[in-house]
């Protein structure tokens, strides 16, 4: 494809030297591209002995996980970038897009998200060069292209016209990354006291919070008011409530009532306070809640079921029974990349299971996690 584009647009000549070429660049100019070496800091992509994290990133960690770069911004790469950016040489975008995945860390990437231009600049230029490059990166890596995950909120001064020390300040607040739940209708079942309701509302979801306790629902409403957030609140038993949207919810969060044995690190009295007779009623209620949650979900919608319990009856077995019953859901496995790479907390089935032994630390006061279980299901 690149050879065809080069031949059609440049008549078989190299874009840089105008010599004979069967692609956009001749072999000599391609070889002259300032490709980055192997000994780079994985965080900032600047030179670092042995490819270790550099001292600056260790002492002042950046707000991003990694930098993947193909070329240094030097001749002749700068000529190609400027020609694409300012002269409309759009045929260069696929070529540049093929270079980026050469550094082969694309396996850790979930989405390809191009940086958006301001409305004014997009109107005058007619295209976004980042988007054009991203199209090829997405094609090469097989990762989804998702320009909707980053929005431009402010029109700012041109970065190249500003001193280096003013550039970060210039773009502060200019971009916004909407949540994946933004604009979706989400039910938070057994919602009180409302921490998760607030998080969903803050992320832009239209939340319906359901709880059967009037007193706890009053506390949820107080918390929303304090945080200046809005959600629809319903006092009802979530195991019986069915007054959702006609087509079903886009997503449902069911943080089911449980024995709370997972909090034993912080609340050791739970082992004494919980009685064996409490388990059967709780597990029966969890299963009723699960069945009702499935009925409230629209096809393709997502259900997250979770408990702060160490008991398999309240976690893994509840989901296994639901799937075995023929319920119209399938498991959507959780990937370690979604939980900061902590593969030890992802089960073989793709559920989340944390234990007090996880994240050990020589100082026992700093090690360990609460026991927690979560499964993600999708309505068929």
Please report the pLDDT score of residue 376 as a whole number.
Answer: 97
Comparison of pLDDT for 66 and 253, the residue scoring more: 253
Please pick, among 44, 54, 258, 308, the residue that the annotation labels catalytic. Answer: 308
Q: Which long-range contacts (CB under 8 A, 24 or more apart) does 1-4 make?
A: 1/94, 2/94, 2/95, 2/98
- The answer on pLDDT for 11 being more than 70 is no
- The answer on pLDDT for 10 being more than 70 is no
Average pLDDT rounded to a whole number, residues 192-220: 95
Average pLDDT rounded to a whole number, residues 143-168: 86
> Is 26 an active-site residue?
no
Q: How far is residue 311's CA from residue 259's CA, in Å, rounded to a whole number?
A: 8
Q: Supply the mean pLDDT for the chain.
A: 90
Average pLDDT rounded to a whole number, residues 65-73: 89
- The answer on pLDDT for 22 being more than 70 is yes
Whole-structure pTM value: 0.60
Please report the pLDDT score of residue 3 as a whole number.
Answer: 55
Output the CA–CA distances (angstroms, integers) from residue 258 to 190, 202, 234, 247, 287, in the order listed. Answer: 11, 26, 21, 30, 11
- Where along the chain do its domains lie? 1-32, 36-67, 70-178, 185-379
Please report the pLDDT score of residue 123 as a whole number.
Answer: 85
Average pLDDT rounded to a whole number, residues 358-373: 89
Burial of 363 (0-12, 13-18, 19+ CB in 10 A): exposed
What share of the chain has pLDDT > 70, as a percent?
Answer: 95
Tokens of 19: 């010599």
Comparison of pLDDT for 69 and 224, the residue scoring more: 224
| 3-state DSSP helix/strand/coil % of the chain, to nearest 5 | 40, 15, 45
How does pLDDT run across 307-320, given as a tens digit for each residue?
A: 999 999 999 999 99
- The answer on pLDDT for 102 being more than 80 is no
Please report the pLDDT score of residue 367 as a whole number.
Answer: 85
- The answer on pLDDT for 5 being more than 70 is no
Mean pLDDT is lowest, of 70-74, 179-183, 266-270, 322-326, for 179-183
Secondary structure letter of residue 23 according to DSSP: S
- Which superfamily, per CATH, for 185-379? Vaccinia Virus protein VP39 (3.40.50.150)
Residue 329: pLDDT band with limits 50, 70, 90: very high
How many angstroms from the chain centroid is the CA of residue 240? 33
Which one, of 373, 377, 376, 358, lies nearest residue 312 by Cα? Answer: 373
Residue 4: pLDDT band with limits 50, 70, 90: low
Phi and psi torsions of 19, nearest 5°: -80, 175
Residue 285: pLDDT band with limits 50, 70, 90: very high
What are the strands, taking DSSP E only, across the chain? 151-152, 175-176, 185-189, 206-211, 232-235, 249-255, 297-307, 329-331, 352-354, 372-379
Please report the pLDDT score of residue 2 as a whole number.
Answer: 52
Please report the pLDDT score of residue 120 as a whole number.
Answer: 83
């Amino acid at each position: 494809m690149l050879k065809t584009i080069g031949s059609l647009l440049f008549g078989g000549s190299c874009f840089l030297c105008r010599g004979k070429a069967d692609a956009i660049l001749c072999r000599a100019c391609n070889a002259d591209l300032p490709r980055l070496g192997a000994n780079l800091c994985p965080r900032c992509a600047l030179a670092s002995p042995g490819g270790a994290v550099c001292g600056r990133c260790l002492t002042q960690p950046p707000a991003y996980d990694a930098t993947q770069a193909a070329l240094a911004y030097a001749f002749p790469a700068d000529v190609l970038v400027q020609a694409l950016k300012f002269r409309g040489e759009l045929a260069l975008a696929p070529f540049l897009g093929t270079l980026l995945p050469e550094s082969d860390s694309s396996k850790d990437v979930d989405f390809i998200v191009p940086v958006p231009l301001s409305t004014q600049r997009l109107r005058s230029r007619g295209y976004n060069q980042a988007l054009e490059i991203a199209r090829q990166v997405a094609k090469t890596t097989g990762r989804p292209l998702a320009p909707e995950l980053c929005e431009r909120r402010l029109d700012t001064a041109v970065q190249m016209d500003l001193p280096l020390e003013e550039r970060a300040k210039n773009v502060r607040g200019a971009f916004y990354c909407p949540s994946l739940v933004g604009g979706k209708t989400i039910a938070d079942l057994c919602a009180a006291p409302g921490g998760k309701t607030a998080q969903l509302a803050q992320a832009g979801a239209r939340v319906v919070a359901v709880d059967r306790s009037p007193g706890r629902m009053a506390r949820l409403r107080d918390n929303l008011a304090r945080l200046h957030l809005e959600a629809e609140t319903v006092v009802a038993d979530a195991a019986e409530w069915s007054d959702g949207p006609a087509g079903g919810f886009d997503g449902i969060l069911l943080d089911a009532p449980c024995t709370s044995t997972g909090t034993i690190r912080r609340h050791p009295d739970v082992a004494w306070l919980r009685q064996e007779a409490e388990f059967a009623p709780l597990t029966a209620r969890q299963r009723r809640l699960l069945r009702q949650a499935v009925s409230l979900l629209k096809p393709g919608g997502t259900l997250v079921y979770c408990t702060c319990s160490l008991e398999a009856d309240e976690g893994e077995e509840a989901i296994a029974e639901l799937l075995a019953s023929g319920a119209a859901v399938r498991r959507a496995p959780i990937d370690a990349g979604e939980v900061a790479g902590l593969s030890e907390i992802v089960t073989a089935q793709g559920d989340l299971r944390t234990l007090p032994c996880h994240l050990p630390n020589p100082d026992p006061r700093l090690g360990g996690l609460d026991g927690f279980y979560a499964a993600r299901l999708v309505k068929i």
